Amino acid sequence: MYSLHLSAEQLEMRDTVRDFVTRELKPAALAAGRLEALERPLLLDQLDQASQLGLRALALSESAGGAGADNLTCCIVVEELAAGDPDVAAVLAHTWTLAHISFDRLMTQAQRERFLPPFLDDPRCHLAHAYEEPDGDASLGIGYHRPRAADVSLHTTAVRSGDSWIINGTKHRAVNAPLAKLFAVEVATAPAENGKGASTILVPREAPGLSVEPEDSSTLRQHGACGRLILRDCRVPVENLVGSERLSALPAEIELHASQDLALNLGIGRAAYEAALDYAQLRVQGGRRIIEHQAIGAKLAEIAIRLEVARAAIWQAAWACDHPAAYADRSLPDLPLARIAKVFSSQAIYHATKDAAECFGAMGVMRDMPLQKYVHDAFNCLHSGEAESETKLHIAEAIAGYRCAPANLAAE
């Protein structure tokens, strides 16, 4: 049964992270010099402190050395972190999600024995998934009521040579790339005439032939630290292949945890709401606090409504990911709940953040005030990832009962 009653462990984790954000993360993120700067470098000291709290391995199973948090708990923690700084939240969420998917679900026992101990021992060991390519096929829509192509062409190739893979290609917009010490790289491992389909190969940062370049954050609508991978005759052992050739499961597994990205957006909106609420209780105009004026009170009420409804949609999507059996017994509708939550929450949170800025009047757009940062961050979330029009078409397919053939199966 879907319940909003959080467990004692979830409440304790939320309160612990909230205290860390209040004491350490938020003061650093909202420092005056950082607010006015065009470039906002990642808060590495605070990221290290969060790693020491165990957040880097939050979703990793307890048997593997993590906290074993489910998707809903991860959403709660992401919201708390994003209320302090969405970039730190994005880095940690990407690492703990990849850690859970890779170490708990996809790697062989031999691969876990090689890669898990270094991950656990090094608090600065982050993970990255390298998928996008600068010269890859652009998204042209999902082909409503038409089967999808067998696969999006990958120009990054891996050719087997003896006991090694030789990888050549370029990946861009890889979240965590400037920090990561282990990359899951999507490659084409066979000529087109022998079949399409992506393969996932693990590439350590020290692998010969790999270079990583940071990307200009001012040109990206994406939170976290992003970078470009350049692979030139990069050599890794054949044992680094995850799963079977041309049957990469990693992108689909990552998509199941999409509600955590929405929780990050929610944290931004909540931070803006809390700032507006604090200001409205302090600012006096016409002999009384502005929160007592109907216009401001009604605006704050609208913000609260948007955030609460968005949170309910996000939590339901996260709970559904943790309880897939709820679809089978018809407790939940057979609809893409994470995509439904994305369409509603991204718009709702962006408007809530703008309304929060309006409570400050002209100060809401000043560069040394946090509201301009919150609006910018919410705008990034509104336009990051899959386009809203494409998301709605996916929902339309589900409503119509249409299912596109999975790309990996089409390659068989």
Identify the CATH number of the domain in which residue 290 sits: 1.20.140.10
195 inside domain: yes
Same domain, 193 and 240: yes
Same domain, 73 and 12: yes
Question: Is the per-residue pLDDT at 236 higher than 50?
Answer: yes
- When pLDDT is averaged across residues 157-182 and rounded to a whole number, the result is 94
Task: Evaluate whether 59 touches 69 at the Cβ level (below 8 Å).
Answer: yes
Report which of 135, 124, 137, 139 is spatially closest to residue 168, judged by C-alpha positions: 135
2 inside domain: no
The tokens for 376 are 């910018």
What is the per-residue pLDDT across 357-410, written as a single tens digit (0 to 9) for each? 999 988 887 887 889 999 989 988 887 777 788 889 889 988 888 665 444 433
Q: Which residue has the higher pLDDT, 185 or 193?
A: 185
CATH number for the domain spanning 30: value is: 1.10.540.10
What is the SS3 assignment for 165?
A: strand
Same domain, 99 and 189: no
Same domain, 233 and 164: yes
Q: Which residue has the higher pLDDT, 23 or 379?
A: 23
Same domain, 116 and 145: no
274 inside domain: yes
Kindly report the average pLDDT of the chain as a whole number: 88
Same domain, 265 and 399: yes
Q: Give the chain's largest Cα–Cα span.
A: 81
- When pLDDT is averaged across residues 300-307 and rounded to a whole number, the result is 97
The residue out of 89, 124, 159 marking a domain boundary is 124
Q: How far apart are CA 256 and CA 209, in angstroms?
A: 32
Same domain, 14 and 158: no
**What does DSSP say about strands 226-237 and 210-214: parallel, antiparallel, or unpaired?**
antiparallel
| Side-chain half-sphere exposure of 173, counting CA atoms within 13 A | 14
Q: How far apart are CA 350 and CA 278, in angstroms?
A: 19
Same domain, 302 and 333: yes
Task: Please tell me the pTM assigned to this model.
Answer: 0.90
Q: Write down the pLDDT at residue 411.
A: 38
77 inside domain: yes
Percentage of residues in the chain with pLDDT exceeding 90? 67
Give residue 322's domain range. Answer: 258-410
Same domain, 178 and 220: yes
252 inside domain: no
Q: Which residue has the higher pLDDT, 17 or 324?
A: 17
- When pLDDT is averaged across residues 51-77 and rounded to a whole number, the result is 96
DSSP per residue, 11-42: HHHHHHHHHHIIIIIHHHHT-HHHHH-S----
Amino acid at site 177: A
Confidence of residue 139 (pLDDT cuts 50, 70, 90): very low
Point out the least confidently predicted range of 96-110, 177-191, 211-225, 228-242: 211-225
Question: Is the per-residue pLDDT at 33 higher than 90?
Answer: no
The residue out of 220, 247, 274 marking a domain boundary is 247
Q: What total number of domains does the chain contain?
A: 3
295 inside domain: yes
Q: Which residue has the higher pLDDT, 205 or 384?
A: 205
Same domain, 204 and 62: no
Task: Evaluate whether 344 touches 378 at the Cβ level (below 8 Å).
Answer: no
Q: Write down the pLDDT at residue 220.
A: 53
Q: How many CB atoms lie within 10 A of CB 149?
A: 15
The residue out of 221, 247, 273 marking a domain boundary is 247
Same domain, 150 and 85: no
3 inside domain: no
- When pLDDT is averaged across residues 273-283 and rounded to a whole number, the result is 95
Same domain, 389 and 267: yes
Q: Write down the pLDDT at residue 160.
A: 93
What residues form DSSP beta bridges with 210?
A: 231
357 inside domain: yes
